[in-house]
Chains A and B, each alone.
Chain A
Amino acid sequence: KQEVTQIPAALSVPEGENLVLNCSFTDSAIYNLQWFRQDPGKGLTSLLLIQSSQREQTSGRLNASLDKSSGRSTLYIAASQPGDSATYLCAVMDSSYKLIFGSGTRLLVRP
């Protein structure tokens, strides 16, 4: 059974810092991995999608990497801003097209 773990559970950083969020999964037979952002009480916003054949994806200040063989992904956020404060979720898609989510990292960027 696929399990997804995110570390750390919570993170507080001063504005301007670069930071890394970690995601690990137990079964390397995934189709893709997706990073989402969730603001309190809101739905999910897709940030980046990495196909299983890809190593990384970039969008603006965000860069996500994928090492399928070791079951790891990282989300790198450059020059963090208070507006980046949210919960970040990673999810892997299995062979039945279902998304399995990690428990999330709650990020607070202090002004």
Chain B
Amino acid sequence: SAVISQKPSRDICQRGTSLTIQCQVDSQVTMMFWYRQQPGQSLTLIATANQGSEATYESGFVIDKFPISRPNLTFSTLTVSNMSPEDSSIYLCSVPRTWGYTFGSGTRLTVV
């Protein structure tokens, strides 16, 4: 299956700061997805990152808060901007494969 390297695995951040999460895939993919999992909740799609075009955001998520970069077909970043305690969640990237979706190991973010 596809290998996705996601960094950092966890971080504790001060409110008002920003954190950039990176995902590196071991092969080229057209679409990459970013998800958020709030404590005790299931996964919610934040946006779809396409190489060479702007990311497509889901309802309730905006580019100013969650800017995404997709400089090539194997890499993407998600930034959580101007953080508040409500942003404390696990953030995961994902790519589709013929055998299903593969997920990164997740970034556990705590905002204090």
Contacts and interface: CB of A to CB of B under 8 A. Distances in A.
B53 interface: no
Interface residues of B, number: 23
Contact of A44 (B44, B92, B108): B92
Contact of A99 (B1, B45, B104): B45
A34 B90 contact: no
Given A89-B42, A97-B31, A99-B33, A32 B100 contact: yes
A98 B106 contact: no
B43 to A, nearest CB: 5
Given A42-B106, A43-B106, A44-B92, A101 B42 contact: yes
Contact of A49 (B6, B42, B44, B99): B99
Contacts of A103: 41-42
Given A41-B90, A44-B92, A97-B96, A102 B103 contact: no
Interface residues of A, number: 20
B92 to A, nearest CB: 6
Interface of B: 1, 6, 31, 33, 41-45, 48, 90, 92, 94, 96, 99-106, 108
Interface of A: 32, 34, 36, 41-44, 46, 49, 89, 91, 93, 97-104
